[in-house]
Amino acid sequence: MLLSSSGFLASGAVEVQPSVNPAVVGDTVTLSLSPLANPRSGRWAVGESLILTWLGDQQAVVPTYNGRASVNVLTGALILTSVTVADSGVYVVQSDDPQLRANVSITVLERITDVTLKANQTDFVEFNSSAVIVCSVSSGSSLSFLWMNGSSEVTASDRVQLTDGNSTLTVVNVTRYDQGPFRCGVFNLVSNSTSDPVNFTISYGPDNMALTVNGQNTTSFLVGSNLTMLCSAQSNPPAQLQWAFRGELVNTTGPLLELYSVTEDQSGPYSCLALNNHTNINSNVTSHVMIAKSPFSGSEQQAVSVWLLPLLLLVGFLLSLPDVGGSSSPWMTLMQKLQNDRDHVCCQSIYASENPLPVGSNVTLYSQAVVTTGVWMFETNLIVMIFPGSIIIHDTWRDRVSYNSTSSALTIKSLRLGDSGLYTLQTVNSFRGQLTLSVQVPISNVTLKARATNLVEFNDTAVLMCSVSSGSSLSYVWLKGHHEVTAGGNVQLSNGNATLTIVSVTLYDEGPFKCSVSNGVSNEISPSVYLNISYGPSNTTMIIMPMVSPYIYRTGSNIMLSCTTVSKPPAMIQWMYNGMYLNEYGSQIQLYNITESDSGSYKCVFHNTVTSRFSSVSSMLWMLDPLEVVVVNHTGGPPILHEPFTLHCEVTGTVDRIQWWRNWQLISPNDTIIFNMNNKTMTFNPVQYSDNGQYRCQAFNSVSNMTSSPYTVDVKYGPGMPTIMGPSVAKTGYSITFSCHASSNPPSHYRWYFNDYPVANTSEYVTPPLTRNMSGMYTCLAYHDITGQNKTAYTMLTVVDPIEDVQVETTMYPPKEGYPYMLTCNVTGPADYIYWMKDGMKLHKDNRTVFNMDNKTVTFNPLKRNDTGYYNCMAMNAVGNMTSPPHKLLVYFGPETPVIHMPSFAETGQFVTFTCSAMSVPPSQISWWFNGTEVANTSVFTTHCLSLNMSGEYTCMAYNNVTGKNSTSFKMLTVIEAIESVMIKNNTIPIDTESFTLTCEVVGPYDMIYWMKDDMYLNINSSDANPHMHYHIENDTLHFTPVTMYNDGSYRCVAANQAAKHKSPTYMLLVNYGPLSVTITGPSLGTSGLSVSLRCSADSRPDCDFYWFINNTSSEVIGNHAVITFPATKENEGNYICKARNPVTNITLYKTKAFSVTGHASAIHFPCRGSLMLIGLFALLFN
């Protein structure tokens, strides 16, 4: 809803005019003052929240509006940028220079975007489900919702509910007519938008079933007929249809059941069953079909045919005679019998080429059946008689009728109005068809006349008459504008609708009126007729500008009064003031610079000279002077807490009401605030702390309001109970400060007393240097000059000497484990309490640790070695504490049983070192003994060169000369004969794939021999070590069976006894092998005249000896180094053979490389068959 802006004026009649209202989110809104007041200072606020203030050209904006709000310091206009919905509210401007206050209500709306619909579901079952659609928007505020179903508005009803501010549409128990499409239109004052449609799929039915046979309502048919039964049902989705006969299902589904050449036993009830799988509803319809034989048997039909043909010939002849065809003739009676007989045959349809038709046109009547014997008749009159090979046309029709025997079609020419009627085609014992033909006269020259056209509203009746020059079978439709006029109310249709009567016409009956006349072959509309209806005056209104409610205006203003009425012809107007006619005849009158004497009743009177009717409207106006002065004052003394206090609002001018403000918060009466004299006085009874603030009274009348300057209420109170801050205990020789404070406005006066003797008259009191006799009660007195009240409080002070020295001492020495021990805390000065600490942690008593003499002594009974540590004692009193220097306590103990480190076995000729240690404080003295003789007096003892007689018991003794205790421990040493040397020897050369043996030779007794390869011990089982290594260990021998290249490495044998393990020097095993392969590197082609080098290399250990041959090995050796060099000449072309021989393994391999000189065809030359065999032998050797 759009909120209108209204300004509350102060002196100077200033209003606030917004640049736009309502505003759109993001807009910039300017709130201007009108007329311009040029305030030099002031403030803008919205509701109770301040926006900004300004003084001269300086302005201060609150942080929440920083960057969005500013004021034009010249005009006082507020500019708000990028407004939001939250910016809606009542904006208030106030200034004291000049004094003014006005406000305006601003609405900020968000544009509507992205209207969407969300349905709880879209598939429903009729009558079983309820549809819920929720309409929502991405953005928008102050929304109104309109729902549409197709082109129709959706409104609330028994089944339709609109909730959540119309944003939710609920359709209870949906029906098939609720499929939609549904749309939601959303609008506010600045925008509108419509959603996309939502459609529902509503399953219903089956119901409203129908069953027809051969498209007719008849259910009786002749034997031999073909029947087509059609079943229909209203259903969504389409129902499944199943046919039944006499209650039993037949093997036919779908809407059609076709029966051919039916017999009598097919008579009975035929049912169509319908089932909807979605709704689980079924329905059925049944039709009883009767199938009967023709009333004539076969012989009877032949007899009929025998007598019908002569009869038709005779009738045709007779009809040619005068008056024979009359309705009373016996021949017509006979024809009537024939017509009665035809009722026993099957009915068929006949058709017209056009129906209805205009007079003078031609028509052809036909049937889909071929007729050989029968008649065409009009009503009861014969037109044509048909029999095989011939026809007879009645004389009255002969000039206008033709018959097509091939199609059995009857054509009638130059139709007359009298040709309208029932046409029948009757065949013998076969079928009968009928058709009603309508021949009509075309309509021409439609005219419309009114009995009178100048009418007076409510007094006269309008009569309109419609007529045609020619036409038959007429239908009349009346139109007013583009809308049809129907009977009802004051509208009457008579004379076959040719006359329209409107009783007591109204101004809405002026027309234009038209008459539309139609029949089956033509239609025509008359020219328009207008009615001139005089009406009024009515709906008379008065508008007074400016518009205020009630009609109370500020003196000095200008007022314009305007009157309007509905009248034809226009009514005459005259103005009246307080019942007296004025010389004013226009629709408006203007009042300038109004005064209070202009108050009164103003009326405008209208008169229509045609209708002779009058109408008038009046308004009462009051003119009022604005307020001039509003001041707040008070009587009596100042506002004192818990006492009454009254403020008065003095107003100059007529005042309607007064309201009071505190700090711009509106004040309402409560238990302590009372308003009297129509709010002119406000009494606080009693005054409370919360009544502090700036008070204003605001006076109102209907044309102005004015707010007083602020009056500050400063509540006087106190003193409260004083609070004293200061120590309760102090050291002698020091000065201390007491401070006293009591809650009070204005601040209280203070006095200090010591033992009732005054010592100071300020809130703080600083003592002289304290002595012990200055202990006692110190009192603070607070008193208030205005309230006349006083309060006192006191505090106690105790003056104490400080602690001067603290020491930890003992008279017991040395501290030995297992004996009692005591520490004493000696304190110089008064001590209230003593604490003991060990290694910085508080010491607690237990079953060994006991405190005595008010904690001055601590006793350990007995003393243990874990009591070792640094001990402090801390003495405390009310003014301080002091901690002693640390006292170190070292507990003497031991020795414990010594621990000896030495071997159990040693070899002759070696030196052995023994070490001995024992836990002891202070450290013990150590001595060594062998076989009862002291051999050393240190903790470490090294023997001389060992011999076998040095085996025996070695004893270590530890002695503590402080505790006077000793302790001993011993260990046995066995001296055995030493291993002098360990060596590896071999008797053969290691050759790949041959057996090889290494022997460990040891000088001296040993217990075990181990073998090592590459510093790793060899397993006794070679297969566990490496599948490529095959060896076994036997006593001091390592057998390789055989040795291979995988056995390469460094070998050592280790001889071990109880005292040590002795390793042999390293034996490097390198297995001789090869050559395994031979390679010749170098060019195969050479340029004539250049030097060529070929290199022969072989994989072998040791290196091979090389020999070079050309073409065959039986030739002369041409080189015995790995490299051979020769010039590239034709004489040096051929196959170069390298022979590689290992001098250790005695294995020889050959390699051949062909060489040729560029420019000559290269080929391998075999000088003889023997050479070829030699090359083959080489190849075998290579393999």
Given a cut of 90, is residue 957 above it in pLDDT?
Answer: yes
Taking the C-alpha atoms of residue 799 and residue 770, their distance in angstroms, rounded to an integer, is 7
Residue 652 lies in a domain: yes
pLDDT tens, residue by residue, 138-194: 999 889 999 998 878 898 888 999 999 999 999 999 999 898 899 999 988 888 899
CA distance 447 to 951: 164
**Do 241 and 178 sit in the same domain of this protein?**
no
CATH number of domain containing 651: 2.60.40.10
Instruction: Summarize pLDDT for 504-560 with one digit per residue, the tens.
Output: 999 889 889 999 999 888 899 999 999 999 999 998 999 998 887 778 898 999 999
Report how far residue 922's alpha carbon sits from residue 309's, in angstroms, rounded to the nearest whole number: 167
> What pLDDT score was predicted for residue 1170?
42
- Widest distance between CA atoms in the chain: 191
Return the pLDDT at 309.
Answer: 43
Distance CA 655, CA 699 (A): 6
| 1040 vs 493: CA distance, rounded Å | 141
Classify residue 718: in a domain, yes or no: no
Q: Residue 391: exposed, middle, or buried by beta-carbon count in 10 A (0-12, 13-18, 19+)?
A: middle
Reply yes or no on whether the pLDDT at 365 is more than 60. yes
pLDDT-wise least confident of 215-224, 393-402, 950-959? 215-224
Clarify whether residues 742 and 754 are in a common domain: yes
- What is the distance between the alpha carbons of residues 541 and 537, in angstroms, rounded to a whole number? 11
- Please give the structure tokens belonging to residue 962: 């402080």
- If one counts every other C-beta atom within 10 angstroms of the C-beta of residue 845, the result is 12
In tens, the pLDDT along 426-453 reads 887 667 788 899 999 999 999 999 999 9
Predicted local distance difference test score (pLDDT) of residue 363 = 92
Q: What is the mean pLDDT of the segment spanning 800-824?
A: 92
Please report the pLDDT score of residue 422 as a whole number: 93
Q: Answer yes or no: do 673 and 705 share one domain.
A: yes
Averaged pLDDT, 1058-1065: 94
Range with the poorest average pLDDT among 550-554, 1091-1095, 1158-1162 = 1158-1162
Of 46, 76, 109, the residue at which a domain comes to its end is 109
Question: What are 257's two structure tokens?
Answer: 């059941």
Domain membership of residue 1 (yes or no) is no
Kindly report which listed range (218-222, 407-411, 509-513) carries the lowest average pLDDT score. Answer: 218-222
Average pLDDT over residues 1087-1110: 94
Contact (CB, 8 A) for 875 and 913: no
Q: Are residues 986 and 1047 in the same domain?
A: yes
> Has residue 1178 got a pLDDT over 80?
no
pLDDT, averaged across the chain: 87
Helices (H), 832-924: none
Last residue of a domain, one of 51, 85, 109: 109
Which residue's entry shows tokens 């250049």? 1090
Task: Mark whether 879 and 909 lie in a shared domain.
Answer: no
Which residues face 380 on adjacent strands? none
pLDDT tens sequence across 105-140: 999 999 999 999 999 999 999 998 899 999 999 999
Res. 958 pLDDT band, cuts 50 70 90? very high
Q: How far apart are CA 573 and CA 616, in angstroms?
A: 9
448 DSSP β-pair partners: 466
pLDDT tens sequence across 582-598: 999 999 999 999 998 99
- Asked if the structure places residue 438 within a domain, the reply is no
Q: Which helix (H) or strand (E) holds 550?
A: none
Q: Which among 1111, 1115, 1180, 1183 is positioned nearest to 1152, based on CA atoms? A: 1111
Q: What is the pLDDT of residues 284-334, one digit of tens each?
A: 999 999 898 754 444 444 433 444 444 444 444 444 444 444 444 433 433
Q: Considering just the CA atoms, what is the radius of gyration of the chain in Å?
A: 69
Pairing of the two strands 673-676 and 681-684: antiparallel
pLDDT bucket at 1167, cuts 50 / 70 / 90: very low
Let me know if residue 70 belongs to a domain.
yes
A 10 A CB-CB count for 947 gives: 11
114: number of Cβ within 10 Å: 11
**Residue 595 CB: number of other CB atoms within 10 A?**
11
Lowest mean pLDDT among 427-441, 564-578, 818-832: 427-441
Q: How far is CA 222 from its chain centroid?
A: 74
Tell me, yes or no, if the pTM score tops 0.75: no
Assess whether 617 and 633 both reside in one domain. no
Q: In this predicted structure, which of 24-33, 364-373, 590-599 has the lowest mean pLDDT?
A: 364-373
Pairing of strands 841-842, 833-838: antiparallel
Residue 1144 has pLDDT above 70, yes or no: yes
The whole-number pLDDT of residue 48 equals 84
Q: d(Cα 1000, Cα 1035) in Å, to the nearest integer?
A: 9
Cα–Cα distance, 810 to 821 (Å, whole number): 9
462 with 487, same domain: the answer is: yes
Domain match, 428 and 320 both: yes
Asked if 268 contacts 292 with a C-beta cutoff of 8 angstroms, the reply is no
pLDDT for 878: 85
* 8 Å CB contact between 123 and 201: yes
Residue 294, pLDDT score: 56
Domain presence at residue 987? yes
Is the pLDDT assigned to residue 1017 strictly greater than 50? Answer: yes
Q: What are phi and psi of 1047, to 5 degrees?
A: -85, 0
User: According to the model, what pLDDT value does residue 483 have?
Assistant: 86
Q: How many residues does the chain have?
A: 1183
Residues 931 and 836 grouped into a single domain: no
Instruction: Please give the pLDDT value at position 34.
Output: 85
- The pLDDT score that the predictor gives to residue 308 is 45
- DSSP structure string for 706-759: EEPPPEEE--BB-----EEES-SEEETT---EEEEE---BSPPEEEEEETTEEE
- Is 660 within a domain? yes
Contacting residues for 623 by C-beta, under 8 A, at least 6 apart: 552, 553, 554, 555, 594, 595, 596, 597, 598, 599
Q: How far is CA 678 from CA 274, 552, 653, 655, 657, in A?
A: 84, 21, 15, 10, 7
Rounded Cα distance between 1178 and 21, Å, is 117
Say yes or no: 499 and 398 in one domain.
no
> pLDDT band for position 338 (50/70/90)?
very low
Q: Quick check: 263 pLDDT over 70?
A: yes
How many domains are contained in the chain? 12
* CA pair distance 311, 305, nearest whole angstrom: 10
CA distance 1036 to 979: 15
Last residue within a domain, chosen from 177, 199, 221 = 199
List pLDDT tens digits, range 722-766.
999 999 999 999 999 999 999 999 999 999 999 889 999 999 999
Q: What is the pLDDT of residues 1104-1134, one digit of tens each?
A: 999 999 998 888 899 999 999 999 999 999 9
pLDDT value of position 318:
46
Residue 748's domain comprises: 723-800
302-316, 387-401, 1089-1103 — most confident range: 1089-1103
Contact of 720 with 747, CB cutoff 8 Å: no
If asked whether residues 84 and 21 sit together in one domain, one would say yes
Task: Find where tokens 């009729």 sit.
Answer: 126
297 occurs within a structural domain: no
| DSSP assigned state of 198 | B
Peptide bond into 923 cis (omega under 30): no
Q: In this structure, are 958 and 863 located in the same domain?
A: no
